[in-house]
Amino acid sequence: MTATAKRPSRKELSASSMSRETGPKAVAKRTIGYAILTFFALVFIMPFVLSAATAFKTLPDIQANPVSLIADPAYGGWTTEGIEDLNSSRVNLPRWTVNSVVVTVFVVLLRITFGSLAGYALARMRFPGRGWIFALVLAVQAIPGIVLAIPRFMVMKELGILNTYAGMIIPLAFDAFGIFLMKQFFEQLPRELEEAAALDGATTWGTFRLVMLPLAAPGLIALTILSIQGTWNEFLHILIARIGNPDLTTLPVGLAGLSAAFGQAQPWNTITAGALITIIPIAIVFFVFQRYFVQGTAASAVKG
């Protein structure tokens, strides 16, 4: 009777792999890799840091030293006049913020609802034309948004929803990428779960709502984050949908119009201060849910 060789554990394999990667060549390789990653991280972070510094500089300082991260004392040093100008009568920041929140909340809720329903139907149900419908969904993703601007405007005009919240929300509620993301995610879930639910007497709607939807939480969170980011920063559609009603202005559209509000002088410190305020909610959402975002997008990218 021959003795069977003991298989190494996962911890032993990991320790063995690490021991092989501790030589001078491996250390140099990791150092170079981290240096390259650090360089590109700084390249991407620098515009944000420059915007933050510009928000607290005077206009003469910005004109004299546009790419400096340090305020020049000769031009007044650090100041909060850029943020203070956001409270002037020429800027209706509270109204813009409320409009952005209302549009973002409703668009995200509708995208989650329609995206999950359509994604589940395309992933699990068998009906004539299913493949063609999914092909159309993919084709819509390839169309630039600017191409759809005029047709959207004409449809909204015929429906009578221009200069209303409905006109700002409904066209953004149907998102081809959201359907694609949720379809790919539902396809990763085992069919045995649906079969077990069917044996227990669950209907198709009950299986979707009580079994499949909770398991799709990472995909829903990924879709939520992407939808919040896209809707919060939406500019072109909002500009067209509320063209005759300035009371429906959102933050991106309002900040873009600050130049006209302040006359000939470009209030770069006020514009960058407003941009920072706009970025903060998105940054908080992303950093809080980034782990689920990575899980959801990674799972939807691999078809089982």
Domain residue limits, the chain = 21-85, 93-300
Is the overall model pTM greater than 0.75, yes or no?
A: yes
| Separation between Cα atoms, residue 205 and residue 119, nearest integer Å | 14
For 244-293, how does the pLDDT look when each residue is reduced to its tens digit (9 = 90+)?
Answer: 788 899 988 888 877 665 555 668 888 888 888 888 888 888 777 777 66
Query: What radius of gyration, in Å, describes the C-alpha atoms of the chain?
Result: 26
What stretch of H or E contains 62?
helix 59-64
In the chain, which stretches have pLDDT less than 50? 1-4, 13, 15-16, 18-19, 302-304
- Identify the pLDDT of residue 2: 47
Kindly report each contact of residues 256-263 with a partner whose C-beta sits within 8 Å and lies 24 or more positions away, as own/partner.
258/91, 261/90, 261/91, 262/85, 262/90
Report the CATH number of the 93-300 domain.
Answer: 1.10.3720.10
pLDDT given for residue 169 in this prediction: 94
Condensed to tens digits (0 to 9), the pLDDT of residues 43-53 reads 888 888 888 88
* 270 close to 82: Cβ distance less than 8 angstroms: yes
